[in-house]
Structure 1
């Protein structure tokens, strides 16, 4: 599976029963650092407005689920976990595709999207939409978590500030 960058197959040529190849091609086209850990998993470094994020994409062959986890560049101190969890609940109320959670082992916020693909192929537009959602939501809500953890704001204040900043950007 380890093809050189100059011999990457086109999206249409990639195996339809394993969409990780299409995700790998996408990351190469974006010029992201990426590594396939096995046939069904890929890690990539995804740039964001608030720093790079680790993107893990895995395909579960039995169910046909394609999972995207974007690990945000932020660690939640133990004492702020309740406030961060409340903030994430408020963030999730405003998200259309995917959801936020806190990865308990690392206390890192994660944005997760799962696409059910059983019996269907991954279309380039779907992949673009998922990546766009990950980028937009993590960029939009990263400051809210920062304000709760480091700025002393309540979850409600942090969400309100994040939404005002987002609406005010051109």
Structure 2
């Protein structure tokens, strides 16, 4: 599927998937417009490459943005991972982390309710993508500490937050 040739500016809105595809292309992020309702791209975060996926539900005017940091949760780590998820989600204002039951993948998910026209501005597109990437970067170390470092979930979150606060 090919994006219509159009320049998007701060003054014009577009269909959500078209706007996000244009944003991905403008940032040089590899992406594929899977359908009129879905786009998938890849971005390099601070800790790993993330898959960004957006799905549009026109009947509800809801855009769901997923960010997958390519972290699988082993069965023996699931209890600690869920405890960490609840602690992490308490820290968030937008979106939440979850473990996708299909493949046990960690993901960040945010649903945005768009206006009656179902259009997305470039500023909204940038904010959605940047928030997803920033949240994955912010909590990636905590998930590493629990899943690969055998750290207690609360201690892992505290360590990750101290490390993040020390970066400038």
TM over 0.5: yes
Of the three residues 43, 47, 54, the one matched with 2:44 is 47
For residues 41 and 14 of structure 1, what CA distance do their matches in structure 2 show?
21
Provide the C-alpha distance between the structure 1 equivalents of 2:31 and 2:54, rounded to a whole number of angstroms.
11
Q: Which residue of 1 aligns with 2:2?
A: 2
- Under a length normalisation based on structure 2, what TM-score does the superposition of the two structures give? 0.92
Displacement, 1:106? 1.3
- Give the TM-score, by structure 1 length: 0.91
Structure 2, unaligned runs of 5 or more? none
Give per-residue Cα distances to partners, 1:52-93, cap 9 Å, x unaligned: 111110110100001101111211111001100110110011
2:8 to 7, 11, 22: 11
CA distance in 1, matches of 2:45, 2:71: 12
Q: Distance in 1 between matches of 2:52 and 2:8?
A: 20
Corresponding pairs, count? 166
Structure 1 equivalent of residue 126 of structure 2: 128
Q: Give the corresponding residue for 2:147.
A: 149
CA distance in 2, matches of 1:23, 1:129: 11
Choose which of 79, 99, 103 in structure 2 pairs with 1:106. Answer: 103
- Give the CA deviation at 1:118: 3.7
Q: Within 5 A, what are the aligned runs for 1:38-117?
A: 38-117=35-114
Kindly indicate whether structure 1 or structure 2 has the higher relative contact order, using CA contacts under 8 Å at least 6 residues apart.
Answer: 2
Question: 1:90-130 deviations in whole A, cap 9, x for unaligned?
Answer: 00111111110001111111001111014143122111111
